[in-house]
């Protein structure tokens, strides 16, 4: 990955920042994007203090024009784009019957349309360089989760997009990776949207028992080097995908019971 130009959406915190550090330490040139300037500046300072060559581009991944600007400024700064990591994401937690539909639209705009826009404007460079398009999906893209209808829908859509894209680009030399962490310690549950669109604030799960963002980044880096098509990162995730394929009725009950154990769960 030395001297590869890597664009990471949502790169100012969590898995995105950990990916910037992991690829950067291996010699890649890093571009991080995000909406909040203060968080971006802080992340950029941290990357540069580690000797990583990086720039930050402020923008909203859910806006098409911001993605066009991001791709243009990346090429102006580094002359090319080799790898795009579609990492920007947001979650939600509320029963479908209670949720404001604007919450689901917002989740889809960021998690799905954000990846569509970023890929559209970076892809010509990636094809030219036989690079990689990576999507940070979730086990929720294989198995729908109660209380997270919008989030699961966005990840199912993302995985369909990546699979279609991978097949379209079969003879171009472009690598497409769908990366599916299990529950990973990050701020996504704290910023998760509730039924009325306000942030949840506190995670309903025990973050300290989850895979770290840094471990997740290492696994994605290795999968990129090996040009894998899929990576499912936890034993729980692999078991969930297998059981859901062969025993969907059983999984309905198992998943319901697991999610019902969350703090303040709407399911009992």
Are 140 and 148 a contacting pair, CB within 8 Å?
A: yes
Cα distance between residue 204 and residue 267, in whole Å: 13
CA atoms within 13 A on the CB side of 203: 13
Cα(232)–Cα(102) distance, integer angstroms: 30
Distances 203 to 115, 206, 240 between C-alpha atoms, Å: 25, 8, 22
Distance of CA 145 to the CA centre of its chain: 17
Residues 6+ apart with CB under 8 A from 248: none
Three-state DSSP state, 211:
strand
Residue 85's beta-bridge partner residues? 8, 134
> Which candidate in 121, 151, 221, 230 is catalytic?
151
- CA distances (Å), origin 255, targets 31, 36, 95: 37, 35, 14
Q: Closest by alpha carbon to 103, among 35, 189, 196?
A: 196
Q: Is 230 designated active site?
A: no
What is the spatial distance between Cα 23 and Cα 9, in angstroms, rounded to a whole number?
14
Residues taking part in catalysis: 151
């Amino acid at each position: 990955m030395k001297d590869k130009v890597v664009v990471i959406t949502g790169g100012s915190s969590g898995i995105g920042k950990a990916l910037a550090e992991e690829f950067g330490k291996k010699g890649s040139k890093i571009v991080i994007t995000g909406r909040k300037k203060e968080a971006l500046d802080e992340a950029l300072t941290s990357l540069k203090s580690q000797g990583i060559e990086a720039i930050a581009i402020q923008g909203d991944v859910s806006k098409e024009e911001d993605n066009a600007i991001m791709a243009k400024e990346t090429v102006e700064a580094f002359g090319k784009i080799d790898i795009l990591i579609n990492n920007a994401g947001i979650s939600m937690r509320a029963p479908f019957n209670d949720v404001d539909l604007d919450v689901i639209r917002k989740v889809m705009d960021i998690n799905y349309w954000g990846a569509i826009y970023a890929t559209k404007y970076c892809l010509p460079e990636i094809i030219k360089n036989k690079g990689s398009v990576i999507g940070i999906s979730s086990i929720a893209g294989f198995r729908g989760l109660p209380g997270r209808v919008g989030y699961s829908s966005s990840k199912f859509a993302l995985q369909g997009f990546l699979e279609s894209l991978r097949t379209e680009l079969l003879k171009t030399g472009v690598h497409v990776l769908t990366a599916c962490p299990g529950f990973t310690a990050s701020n996504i549950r704290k910023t998760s949207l509730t039924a009325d669109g306000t942030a949840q604030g506190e995670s309903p799960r025990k973050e300290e028992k989850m895979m770290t963002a840094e471990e997740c980044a290492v696994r994605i880096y290795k999968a990129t080097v090996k040009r894998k098509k899929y990576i499912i990162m936890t034993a729980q995730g692999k078991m969930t995908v297998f059981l859901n394929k062969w025993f969907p009725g059983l999984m309905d009950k198992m998943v319901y019971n697991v999610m019902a154990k969350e703090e303040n769960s709407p399911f009992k």
